[in-house]
Amino acid sequence: MDKHRQGATASYVVLALCAVVWVVLPAAVHRFAQEAFAEFQAPALHLAGKARDLARFWELKSRDKEEILAASRDLARANAALELQLRRYEDIRKENVRLREMLRYNPPPEHLTVVARVAVRDSSTWWQRIVIRKGSDDGVRAGCPVIFSDRVIGKVAVAHHTTSEVDLITSPNFRCTGFLEGDEQNRIVLVTGAPGRGLASGRSRVTAIPQDYFYPVGNAPKVTTTGLGGVYPAGLILGHLEGGQRTTQDGNFRESSLTPTRDLFALQEVTVLVPKYPTPGEILLEDQAQKRLDELR
């Protein structure tokens, strides 16, 4: 019995000592340990993701032939329609290029696209993050926007070698500017993530809505990216304004919640838009930002 007690006490002491040692260790060691853990668990995340894909594959495989034939017929029709649309877009693109050349228009920063499967959806109400199966080895950098189709999903928070953590637009760490649908003056509003209350999931908030902004009753206006900040291309959908807009008590503006256009935790695949050249904001996210800034000077 005494031996048991002594053993328990000793383990508490060791635990406390470990905690103290961890606290006093330099920040670089902390960082290394976190990175090492992320890289260590990356194969497990990959494996889990692939297992889910396999399950989905077998689920699809089990469908009967009639169903598949009908689906492929529908797809063929959709394909034909899209082919036509593609040709029309090609004409528009050429016209666009011609006009840009005429106007000597300086195009916005180009983006490379990296398509990534979602490995883990962290449903924690605190973090509002997902992990994707592409990392710095694939060219993903911290600070890059993440989209699905024409909708903004979030922004890369950390890029590990083979995986990346993405702050969703409902994350408190997310912030970007937006334009409101129908606002002819194109005034900037601020879109931020807001932590959920209790067990509720996170949500986004739109602030600095001008008092004289009105929209037709019954329509939830879209909030789209401005394209002015050098990160998000213009016109991507951030979400829709919820009906209840509150006037701030100082009377200057209104604020509202934002409904994301997708269920963010049901996503299976996303696209990371990687700017061709790192933006200043990306460099500031680097560990040695000040050193890098000094080097660039």
Partner 1 sequence: MRETPEAEALPSSPIAKARLYLVFLLFAVGFGYVIVGLALRQLIQTGDLKAQYDTQSRRVVLRPPSRGLIYDRNGYVLVENRIRWSIKADLLALQPEIHRKYLALIKAERVRGAPVEFDKLQDKARLDVLQGWLDRVWYVIDEAQPNKRGGARPRPVRPGDEPERRVNPADLRKHLRERRALPFVLVTDLAFPGSGRALRPEEGQRTIARFIDQFPVNGPISLESDIVRSYPHGSLAAHVLGYIKDTDELPEKVNELADLPMDNLQKLQYTGKKGAAGIEQTFDAVLKGMSGWELWTKTSSGYNKELVASNPAQQGSAVNLSLDRDIQCAAERALAQIKDSKGELLPGAAVMLDVNTGEILALASQPTFDPNRLADRVTQVYFDEVDGKGGWMNRAIQGLYAPGSTFKVITAIAGMRHGIVDWDDILECGPSFRVGARDFPEHDPAGYGQVNLEKMLAVSCNVWNYMVGVRLGQPRLAAEARRFGLDTPLLTHVSDLVNGSPYELPYPAARTLVVPDAAYKQRIGAGPWTDGDTANSSIGQGYILTTPLHMACVAASLARGETRTTPSIIHDPGRDGRHVGAEPIGLTEAQLTALRSGLERCVTEGTARTVRIPELPYAAKTGTSEYFKNGEKAHLAWIIGYAPADNPAVAFCVLVEGQLDTSTWGGKTAGPVARDMLTTWARKAETPTGAQPASDCQRK
| Chain contacts with partner 1 (rule: CB under 8 A) | 109, 143, 172-177, 186, 188, 190, 208, 226, 228-232, 248-253, 275-285, 289-290, 292-293, 296-297
Residue with tokens 């080097």: 295
In the bound state with partner 1, the residue whose beta carbon lies nearer, of 41 and 136, is: 136
Query: Considering the complex, what minimum distance in angstroms separates the CB of residue 292 from partner 1?
Result: 8
Q: How far is the CB of 9 from partner 1 (least distance, A)?
A: 34
CB of 86 to partner 1, least distance (A): 31
Residue 274 to residue 139: CA distance in whole angstroms: 8
* Least CB distance to partner 1 at residue 95 (A): 24
Q: In the numeric block, which tokens belong to residue 116?
A: 């990534």
Q: By C-beta, is 221 or 278 nearer to partner 1? A: 278
Q: What are phi and psi of 229, to 5 degrees?
A: -85, -5
Q: To the nearest whole angstrom, how small is the minimum distance from the Cβ of residue 279 to partner 1?
A: 6
Based on its alpha-carbon atoms, the radius of gyration of the chain, rounded to whole angstroms, reads 24
Secondary structure letter of residue 281 according to DSSP: H
User: Measured from the CB atom, is 173 or 259 closer to partner 1?
Assistant: 173
Whose Cβ is closer to partner 1: residue 48's or residue 194's? 194
Query: Residue 41 or residue 125: which is nearer to partner 1 going by CB?
Result: 125
Give buried/exposed letters for 232-271 (b at 16+ CB in 10 A, else e).
Answer: bbeebbbbbbeeebeeeeeeebbebbbebbeebeebeebb
Instruction: Give CA–CA dist 270/118, Å, rounded.
Output: 7
Nearest approach in angstroms of CB 64 to partner 1 is 49
- Of 46 and 229, the one with the shorter C-beta distance to partner 1 is 229
Residues 6 or more apart whose CB falls under 8 angstroms from that of 70 comprise: none
Nearest-10 Cα torsion for 129, 134, 136, 137:
160
